[in-house]
Structure 1
């Protein structure tokens, strides 16, 4: 009687199952690595897109600012001399007195209190012209850039109502000069003073609150300071700087 071949049963022991589990784990590991690679690739793509967007935004911003700068030059107040002064007197006057002032400057207030009437006499004369060249370099002396705001308000008056109204505003600003280190007069007060000086309320109000001449003021102040002026008031007679106390004698000498 021949022996029957006994079928070989599959190995179901732990040792027999290990290779199948290892293959499954290997497949899972490979799939996990693939997902990780895809995730890293996606992050790189997103970062690249983000960088391109930033570059595009910066480029557009630069173009817009450049265009704005070329299309919208700084507003310049009308009625000024070539060096940014308000002139009272004939163009061919024998003597020209020029005063560089800052509306926040206490020494300028003292100068106006002491010599304002003398300057008024010069303005009314036939042979002496007076030029006021206001700047704003004392913005740090207030918490609201009062020097610039006051100068802007005076330029708004000049633009709307002319030199005589500007002079009235000039006198009011020194009469009501705020102490250094304070906020200074607010825009509503400046607008009220401008109207009292002769400006139209509807015209001067927005000009003051919008600080229409701010860019010009900054550039003008830089130009004046770069020309050699280092303090206010700086007074000159026919281009020669003089001490305030010597103004009258310097004018008389220039008249002769």
Structure 2
């Protein structure tokens, strides 16, 4: 064999090996990323790509739970880390571990929120929310903390759900952290007249009154070993959002609710009147991936993850540094 042939075959083998290694590295990157020394798992959520990371760990701050916070058996904590909506006698219980900066949370919320509101108002469903700060650990930020604290401050005023919806409607791009400036969060909250005119709410947000409560949720999130946000349980069973479209997510979610309601006897509890979902919101700071009102249609941008992981996102979902949804029964 001539020298040229040997060199040619060697180069071909090297190219094959290099391509194989590149594929392996891409697969490893798809499944596991390391961000700031923290192992981050990539999970498929509604056909998109989310990143499950440990919730941010910071020095403890004074713990002050918001009004009517509840101890949630699903959270396996003696602290009142949850916020309820819906009647206590509703047969189906859902638990949601979420992050207001998590794009996958926003996409799933957009797909299912109108439906779960109907179930809550009909007395069929009670939801317990646990706002955590997962994205903060990705970029060493504080926007998730500030958003969750503001939601807890709104709970003190009886406006949790309205601000909950507005925060998702105005979710910033995951690659930025404008909510690190609390005035950006207050600007969103100003869309709710009762909060705009409340000195108590304003001082609660600017002073970080419930930061310790949010951090307690983050610490408990890590302790539970949850895969990421959103994590959703219905009657203690974790949901698996692996569908490829928003319609499929909704169909799966509604099927799980209906099955749980039937299993629980099919008898509704006390009806609940929820506040009307906000119809307007400031556009500044909103996600460039086209975040929309939680009652509207999901984004179809398929924006790539800030971590550089592959998007491959079908219509109605987007990739993100967020994590998978979960909900459960108390």
Q: Sort the TM-score into its range (normalised by shorter chain).
A: 0.5 to 0.7
Matches within 5 A, 1:176-187: 176-185=170-179, 186-187=181-182
Q: 1:73 to 1:144 in 2, by over 3 A?
A: closer
Unaligned runs of 5+ in 1: 1-68
Q: Equivalent of 1:204, from 189, 201, 204?
A: 201
Q: Which residue of 1 aligns with 2:28?
A: none
Q: Which residue of 2 aligns with 1:172?
A: 166
Residues 212-255 of structure 1 show CA distances to partners (whole Å, capped at 9, x for unaligned) of: 11122112211133123120111111111012433211111111
Secondary structure in 1 matching 2:178: coil
Residues 72-102 of structure 1 show CA distances to partners (whole Å, capped at 9, x for unaligned) of: 9522212111132221222121111222110
Q: Which residue of 1 aligns with 2:258?
A: 252
Q: Which residue of 1 aligns with 2:222?
A: 225
Conserved? CA contact 1:102–1:232, under 8 Å: yes
Q: Which residue of 2 aligns with 1:88?
A: 85
Aligned residues between the structures: 183
Secondary structure in 1 matching 2:214: helix
Q: Offset of 1:143 from its aligned partner?
A: 6.1
Conserved? CA contact 1:104–1:141, under 8 Å: no
Conserved? CA contact 1:195–1:201, under 8 Å: no
Conserved? CA contact 1:152–1:211, under 8 Å: yes
Q: Which residue of 2 aligns with 1:191?
A: 186
Q: Aligned pair 1:215/2:204, yes or no?
A: no
Q: 1:239 to 1:141 in 2, by over 3 A?
A: same
Q: Give the TM-score taking structure 1 as reference length.
A: 0.66
Q: Aligned pair 1:118/2:123, yes or no?
A: no
Conserved? CA contact 2:134–2:144, under 8 Å: yes
Q: Aligned pair 1:77/2:66, yes or no?
A: yes
Measured in 2, the distance between the counterparts of 1:215 and 1:205 equals: 17
Unaligned runs of 5+ in 2: 1-59, 73-80, 242-248, 263-330
Q: Which residue of 2 aligns with 1:34?
A: none
Moved over 3 A (4+): 140-144
Q: Give the TM-score taking structure 2 as reference length.
A: 0.52
Conserved? CA contact 1:194–1:204, under 8 Å: no
Measured in 2, the distance between the counterparts of 1:105 and 1:192 equals: 20
Structure with the bigger percentage of helix: 1
Measured in 2, the distance between the counterparts of 1:201 and 1:193 equals: 14
Measured in 2, the distance between the counterparts of 1:143 and 1:230 equals: 19
Q: 1:73 to 1:145 in 2, by over 3 A?
A: closer
Report the RMSD for the aligned CA atoms in angstroms. Answer: 2.0
